[in-house]
């Protein structure tokens, strides 16, 4: 194993801090989205349905975007429900 210089150690440390910060920001964003959705669901039955459909699509397509008929139909229903809710 190659011995690192002080500068290399400092650069690696800075990179690790940056990666950890970006990861934390992603987690924080997901947590905020979850919180906002959970609070909104208490007041809006249509939003409850939209959220349930989104969870079904996300759990079914855990690896990546899914193009099966079930996911396409659910996404269409989600889009329609969101349009109706805004109107």
Q: At what angle do helices 6-43 and 45-60 cross, to 10 degrees?
A: 140
Pull the structure tokens for residue 4: 């690192």
With a CB cutoff of 8 Å and minimum separation 6, the contacts of 8 are: none
Q: What is the pLDDT of residues 36-74, one digit of tens each?
A: 877 777 777 777 778 778 887 777 766 667 777 877 888
pTM across the whole model: 0.43
User: What is the model's pLDDT at position 17?
Assistant: 93
Polymer length of the chain: 87
User: What is the model's pLDDT at position 55?
Assistant: 80
User: What is the model's pLDDT at position 61?
Assistant: 66
Is residue 1 over pLDDT 90? no
Closest CA to 59 of 47, 72, 46, 71: 71
């Amino acid at each position: 194993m190659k011995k690192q210089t002080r500068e290399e150690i400092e650069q690696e440390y800075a990179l690790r801090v940056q990666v950890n910060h970006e990861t934390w920001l992603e987690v924080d964003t997901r947590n905020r989205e979850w919180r906002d959705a959970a609070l909104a669901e208490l007041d809006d039955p249509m939003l409850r349905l939209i959220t349930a459909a989104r969870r079904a699509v996300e759990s079914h397509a855990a690896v990546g975007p899914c193009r099966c008929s079930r996911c396409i139909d659910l996404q269409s229903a989600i889009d329609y429900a969101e349009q109706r809710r805004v109107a």
